Structure formats: structure tokens, C-alpha cells
Amino acid sequence: MSDDKETNILDQEEVVWSIKTNLTCQVCDKLFVDPRILPCLHTFCCLCIENLLRNPPLKDKLLKCPSCHLETGLDSRNSVRKLPANSLLVSLLDLLRIQEGKSVQCDVCDCSEEESSAEVRCRECSIYLCELHSEAHKKAKDTKHHNLLSLEYLKTMSLKELNRPTYCVTHTGERLALFCDLCNTSICRNCALKDHKTHQTQFLEDAYSKLYPKFSQILEQTRSVCIKVENAIPALNCMQARVNMKADGIIRDIEDSINAKIKALEQRKSELRAAVELVRVNRKTALDVQRRSLEASRDALQVSCRFVKRVLEEGDPVHLLSSKDLISERLEALANHHYELQPREDHVIKFSAENEALQQAIDSFGSIDTSYPYFATSTAEGTGLHEANVNQTVCFTVITSKKSNQRIEVLPA
Ligand SMILES: [Zn+2]
Ligand SMILES: [Zn+2]
Ligand SMILES: [Zn+2]
Ligand SMILES: [Zn+2]
Ligand SMILES: [Zn+2]
Ligand SMILES: [Zn+2]
């Protein structure tokens, strides 16, 4: 008993969570009205789906689910009306209204007329009744012993207990009670007597109890697939981390390799510069020596010229005659001296670099190979794969291929 109550509380919590997250239509952003289930199991208001069909967002011919974009196969208002109702959500909506103390519509009152809000729910008929109809329910012969539950009491009921009955669309007021195996549809007793007279039918409860284990099994299978899919995701994160690590490592390798080449080039640059500087210094030294020599010669010539000129212009003849031999010897010596008049060194220095070859080498330097043996296109063959003896070496061949199916290499193992 206490166990039951605990489960009930848990159920209620789950229900409240479901209410909060599941009762809003993603299209109109309001509480669902007549929620219908699309083939992808997403639910939207019947009217919202019809509106989408009328104004498709991408001018698609067939409507796509607004949540997951799966094609729904819906092409007309009629096909929307045939979508199964999400009765779980209908019950949830009822539960929400009851929990919040809002009115629930009477199931007996005529829809076209103004509906009165329900006061009670009949436990046996699973329908909501207004004051007027609950009185009638109490008096009618068939239903006078039914338990009418107050809305206050309903607040303590589970979602399952609040399910509404489903009625036949063809026969007003008739509940769907049977399942036609041939037509694969739920039908009412009237249907069973008319259109489905020759068809094999069974009670809904029986069909349900047969379906339950099958669905449980499918659910179990789907859940295990779900777990596999979910478990595959961390491996992707792991792989992403490894890709990042590898890419970082390769980038470091590229940096190191190129930096080494840059360093070698810098080294060569220094060597070439040094060679040019040496030429500069050597030629400067040579030119300096030559310049100093020529300057000394020029000074000597100027001094002699000035002296002789003065003697000629201002000196007296005795003086000139007494030193004529000395003067003529000196001037002759100066005039006949061999002067180095052309610069000893030239400006010519040549720098040649075989640019093209180096440029080509740079352009084609290094390469990135992204191929790897891809498991889906790689195969193994050989008898060793299928037959083996204890403690004996087997032989098989692994043929690894790239993702593009291009064979990489054959590894005998
Ligand atoms: Zn909606
Ligand atoms: Zn969907
Ligand atoms: Zn009523
Ligand atoms: Zn009743
Ligand atoms: Zn019917
Ligand atoms: Zn049938």
C-alpha cells in the first residue's frame, strides 16, 4: 500500500515534469488544442498542422515536420484529420486544467452549442459531466449506480485514470471498443455490425495485451540502439580531441621544419653580407692607400710648382742660376715619376642566386597526407580468418584502403 503511494507520488512528479515540457505546441507556442501525432512522433495542434499545410514554409509539396523536417506525407486537410490524436496529451491537458482548478468541458453537452463546464467525472464511463448531465446520469437506469467523482477528488488521480474514451467518427456517441485486424483500425460496435461485418475483430483490450509485449520488445530494441548511439558520441569527442592534438603536433612540426630552413637562410644571408663587407673593406683600404699616395704626390708637386714659380717671377737671376741644376733635377724627377692615376679597385661586385630552383624547392617543400586505412573499405582475406588450430600460426591478409576506396598497402599478418 505504502509502496503504491510512493509510486503514485513519483508518477505525479513525472506528470508535472511532462506537463511543463510537453504541453506547449512548438508552432503556436500555446497549450495544445486537439493535439495530433505526425509520423515522426512529434505532436502539434491539428489546426497548426493544417495552417502549415496551407502556407508551407519552403513551398514543399508535402509537409515536413517543423521540428525534425521529416517528410510527413501529408498533402490535404483530410490527411491531417486522419492523424492519430495524442490522447496522452489530451489527458495531460485535462489533468493540468483540473490541477489548476480551471473548467473542463462536459462531454455530453453539444459541441455546437455553448458548453457548460463539468462538475464531475463518471468513473465507469470516464466522461466529464456538467451539473445538468450529472443529474441525468444519476437518474438514468443504466448509469444510476455509477461513481461520480468531484473535480477536487480528480486532483489525486493518476494520468492513466484520467484518460478520455475515444469515440467513433462515424457513429456519434459510440465508443471505440473493437479492433479490426483486416482494416488495422479501431472501430465501434456499430462499425463491427456494418462495414466490418465479415472482418475478423477483437476487443481493444485483447489487441492491446497482444501488442504490449511486441511494443515492449521494439521499445527495448530501440532503447538499446539509443544507448549505442548515445555511447558513440563521447568517442567522437575523444576523436575530436585526438584530431586537435595531432593537428597541433603537425603544426608544431611544420613550424620547426620551416623555422630551421629560415634559420639556414638567415645564416646564408649573414655569410653573403659578410663576404660583401669584406670586399668593401678591402677595396676601401686599397683606395685609401692609393689616395694617400696621390695626395702626397699632389702636395709635393704643388710645393715644387709654387717654389719655381716664385723664383721665376720674383727671384734675381743669380739666385736662379745658382740653383738651376737642383730645380731642373727635382722638376724632372717629379714629372717623370710614375703616378697610379686609375683607381686601384673597381665598384663591380656581382650577386647571383638561382632563384627559380630555390623557389621551386620552397613551393614543393613538405606535404600533408591525410589518408589512413579506413575500416569500412578495408578487408581481410585468407583461410586463417576462418580456420585455426591451437598453437599454430595462421595466415591472412589485411587489405587496407583509404576512405576513397584507394588501396594503400597490403600487410600480410
Ligand atoms: Zn499549435
Ligand atoms: Zn518531427
Ligand atoms: Zn453537459
Ligand atoms: Zn457513467
Ligand atoms: Zn462506428
Ligand atoms: Zn474492417
Closest ligand to 180 CA? 6
Q: Where are the alpha helices (DSSP H) in 156-203?
A: 189-193
With CA atoms as reference, report the closest residue to 205 among 182, 186, 183, 184.
186
pLDDT tens for the chain, 413 residues long, are 445 555 565 566 666 666 666 788 989 988 888 899 999 999 999 999 998 888 766 565 678 898 998 888 888 888 888 888 888 888 888 888 888 888 888 888 876 556 688 889 998 888 889 989 999 999 999 889 999 999 888 888 887 788 877 778 788 778 889 999 999 989 999 999 999 999 999 999 999 899 899 989 999 999 999 999 999 999 999 999 999 999 999 999 999 999 999 999 999 999 999 999 999 999 999 999 999 999 999 999 999 999 989 888 888 888 888 888 999 999 999 999 999 999 999 999 999 887 888 888 889 988 988 888 777 777 888 877 788 888 888 888 887 777 776 665 555 54
> Would you kindly state where each structural domain of the chain is located, as residue ranges?
1-85, 221-347, 375-409
Q: Which residues contact 193 (CB under 8 A, 6 or more apart)?
A: none
The CATH code that applies to domain 1-85 is 3.30.40.10
Q: Which three cell numbers stand for residue 26?
A: 512548438
Task: Report every protein residue that has its C-beta within 5 angstroms of ion ligand 4.
Answer: 122, 124-125, 143, 146
If one counts every other C-beta atom within 10 angstroms of the C-beta of residue 136, the result is: 13
User: Could you tell me the distance, in angstroms and rounded to a whole number, from the CA of residue 128 to the centre of ligand 4?
Assistant: 9
CA–centroid distance, 191 to ligand 3, in Å, is: 26
